[in-house]
């Protein structure tokens, strides 16, 4: 009922009434009472100094002094109380949520790792909720929040107390990456991978392993607070810890980016000696536990369909299953959005190198997390609305896995497809030769070009492209 008011004397530290329904009538009553006690003190004083006579003038001096002193003390207390209620409708600035970030940097074996720690004090669930709904999402998206994040927020607050909230994440940059492209594979450097099946999404049953977030290049979580609801946005609903981290980082005035520039946007300027993949790819890694599993029928624009007479998908409580997971690592990497480059219809060498660099960084971090059994769980990264090529992106995933000795779990992919790509990747002596071959294959076979520019690259509708990936491949 009461909330401390900072900056006042000790007797006022806990007199602010937080509940408006109680505070307002109490303020009116105490205000009127304060006026009455002021009048009592004034009358007592006037009588004591013989300014007025009559009945009051005939009272004893002790009684008159009591009226003066008691009325004055009561008036001061009541006026102070009323003032606190009138001018402290919101908690004072000192009680507002605050967040601060610290970081440490290390560079070992060509990998620059930056560990960030964000701490928050005075967490206010109302402030978090207001921030959550700031972008006025569609009513169906609001229902998603109500069935997931708001439920978890309540559970989180019950066990919070007054403790400081602390979260960490890591960002990496492979400053030594270009030199790895010419490194020859040994006989033992074979790719290991498996396709988890079409239509299958992450289940987070591999505790301690890395799961890839198909991240927005500019906004942590993409459009998750708006109307977006694809892979990354769903992550921020299923993982309350990601939503909380986004709030804390925003409160601290910081931004989490998987690249230090819009990915690949300046690639046309990178030519000659500068074409070495040094555009900063900085994957982020966040330890988190899933709270809910979202039904796949809500994916994409189904929450707000209005075109062609289609009605939005109705959100039901049973679309969200309480399904906590062990702690996993969410790895954010950003792919190129081909819709932003209408004049280009093929991957350049730099495009491929930069995507590979991001995947290589993810795989190296997976090795640090699990030395004996490193795994990366990923899928059709950048191959949805961004228009990337599934065949090319899968090849880059498996190439990064071969370079680092990490087992790749590929979701929403048939295992037969993945095994054919694996056999193709194992043909090459160096990563650089694999990259060069993909560039050349685009000239021979349009199935290797970006999907947004070529409708024929859909391997689901055109399975013949998988019949012999090694055909016409020159690895000498």
**220 CB-side CA count, 13 A:** 24
Distance separating alpha carbons of residues 459 and 377, to the nearest angstrom: 21
Q: At 302, is the pLDDT very low, low, confident or very high (cuts 50, 70, 90)?
A: confident
Strand residue runs (E) in 18-164: 98-108, 111-121
As given in the structure block, the two tokens for residue 86 are 């009138």
Contact status, residue 243 vs residue 236, Cβ threshold 8 Å: yes
Instruction: Return the pLDDT at 55.
Output: 53
In b/e form, how buried is each residue of 84-112, taking b as 16+ CB within 10 angstroms?
A: bbeebeebeeebebebeeeeeeeeeeebb
Burial class (CB in 10 A: 0-12, 13-18, 19+), 356: buried
What pLDDT is recorded for position 167?
Answer: 96
Residue 64 confidence (pLDDT) above 70:
no
Judge whether residue 278 has pLDDT over 60.
no
Q: Which two tokens stand for residue 259?
A: 């690249």
Judged on CB neighbours under 10 Å (0-12, 13-18, 19+), 238 is buried
Cβ–Cβ contacts within 10 Å for residue 313, how many? 18
Kindly indicate the confidence band of residue 107, based on its pLDDT and cuts at 50, 70 and 90.
Answer: very high
Length of the chain (residues): 476
CA R_g for the chain: 32
Predicted local distance difference test score (pLDDT) of residue 118: 97
Average pLDDT score, the chain? 80
Sheet holding 328-333, edge to edge: 98-108, 111-121, 165-174, 284-288, 328-333, 210-214, 375-378, 407-410, 193-195
Q: What is the mean pLDDT of residues 83-106?
A: 75
Q: Where are the alpha helices (DSSP H) in 291-374?
A: 349-369
User: Using the 8-state DSSP alphabet, how is residue 222 labeled?
Assistant: T
With 0-12 / 13-18 / 19 or more C-beta atoms within 10 angstroms meaning exposed / middle / buried, residue 431 is buried
pLDDT of residue 371: 87
Is the pLDDT at 186 greater than 80? The verdict is yes
Backbone phi, psi, residue 475, to 5°? -110, 10
Residue 272 — pLDDT band, cuts 50, 70, 90? very low
Under 8 Å between Cβ of 258 and 333: yes
Q: What does each C-alpha distance from 368 to 406, 408, 465, 475 come to in angstroms?
A: 11, 15, 36, 32
Residue 298's nearest CA partner among 278, 283, 285, 317 is 317
Residue 459 has pLDDT above 50, yes or no: yes
Q: How far apart are CA 168 and CA 188, in angstroms?
A: 36
CB under 8 Å to 264, separation ≥6 — which residues? 279, 336, 350, 351, 354
Higher pLDDT pick, 314 / 214 = 214
Task: Give yes or no for a contact between 426 and 437, defined as CB atoms under 8 angstroms apart.
Answer: no
CA distance linking residue 223 with residue 208, whole number of Å: 27
The rounded distance, in Å, linking the Cα atoms of 449 and 325 is: 37
Give the pair of three-digit tokens for residue 210.
Answer: 């890395």
* Nearest one of 330, 331, 344 to 389, comparing CA atoms: 344
Nearest CA among 71, 141, 438, 474 for reference residue 300: 141
> Can you give the pLDDT at residue 162?
67
**Least confident stretch, 144-148, 238-242, 266-270:** 266-270
- Identify which has the larger pLDDT, 47 or 430: 430
Q: State pLDDT tens for residues 326-357.
A: 999 999 999 988 877 666 678 989 889 999 99
Q: Percent of the chain, pLDDT > 70? A: 68
Nearest Cα to Cα of residue 204 among 179, 175, 168, 241: 241
């Amino acid at each position: 009922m009461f909330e401390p008011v900072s900056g006042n004397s000790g007797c006022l530290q806990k007199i602010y009434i937080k509940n408006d329904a109680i505070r307002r009538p109490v303020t009116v009553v105490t205000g009127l009472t304060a006026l009455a006690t002021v009048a009592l003190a004034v009358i007592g004083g006037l009588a004591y100094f013989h300014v007025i006579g009559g009945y009051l003038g005939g009272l004893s001096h002790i009684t008159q002094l009591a009226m003066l002193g008691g009325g004055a003390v009561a008036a001061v207390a009541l006026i102070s109380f009323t003032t606190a209620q009138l001018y402290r409708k919101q908690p004072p600035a000192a009680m507002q949520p605050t967040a601060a970030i610290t970081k440490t940097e290390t560079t070992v074996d060509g990998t620059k790792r930056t560990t960030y720690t964000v701490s928050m004090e005075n967490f206010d669930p109302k402030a978090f909720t207001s921030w959550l709904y700031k972008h006025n999402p569609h009513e169906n998206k609001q229902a998603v929040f109500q069935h997931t994040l708001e439920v978890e927020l309540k559970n989180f607050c019950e066990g919070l107390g007054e403790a400081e909230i602390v979260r960490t994440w890591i960002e990496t940059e492979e400053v030594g990456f270009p030199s790895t492209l010419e490194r020859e594979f040994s006989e033992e450097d074979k790719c290991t991978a498996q396709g988890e099946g079409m239509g299958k999404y992450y289940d987070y049953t591999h505790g301690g392993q890395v799961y890839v977030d198909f991240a927005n290049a500019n906004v942590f979580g993409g459009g998750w607070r708006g109307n977006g609801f694809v892979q990354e946005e769903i992550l921020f609903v299923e993982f309350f810890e990601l939503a909380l981290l986004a709030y804390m980082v925003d409160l601290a005035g910081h931004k989490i980016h998987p690249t230090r520039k819009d990915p690949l946007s300046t690639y046309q300027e990178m030519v000659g000696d500068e074409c070495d993949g040094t555009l900063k790819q900085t994957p982020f890694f966040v330890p988190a536990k899933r709270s809910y599993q979202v039904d796949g029928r809500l994916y994409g624009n189904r929450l707000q369909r209005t075109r062609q007479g289609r009605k939005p998908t109705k959100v039901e409580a049973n679309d969200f299953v309480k399904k906590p997971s062990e702690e996993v690592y969410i790895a954010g990497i950003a792919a190129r959005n081909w819709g932003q480059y209408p004049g280009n219809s093929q991957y350049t060498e730099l495009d491929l190198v930069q995507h590979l660099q991001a995947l290589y960084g993810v795989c190296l971090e997976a090795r640090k997390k699990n030395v004996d059994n490193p795994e990366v769980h990923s899928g059709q990264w950048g191959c949805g609305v961004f228009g990337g090529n599934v065949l090319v992106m899968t090849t880059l995933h498996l190439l990064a896995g071969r370079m680092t000795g990490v087992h790749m779990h590929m979701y929403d992919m048939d295992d037969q497809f993945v095994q054919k790509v694996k056999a193709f990747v194992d043909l090459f002596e160096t990563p650089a030769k694999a990259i060069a071959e993909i560039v050349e294959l685009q000239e021979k076979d349009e199935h290797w070009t970006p999907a947004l520019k070529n409708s024929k690259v859909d391997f689901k509708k055109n399975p013949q492209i998988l019949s012999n990936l090694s055909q016409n491949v020159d690895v000498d």
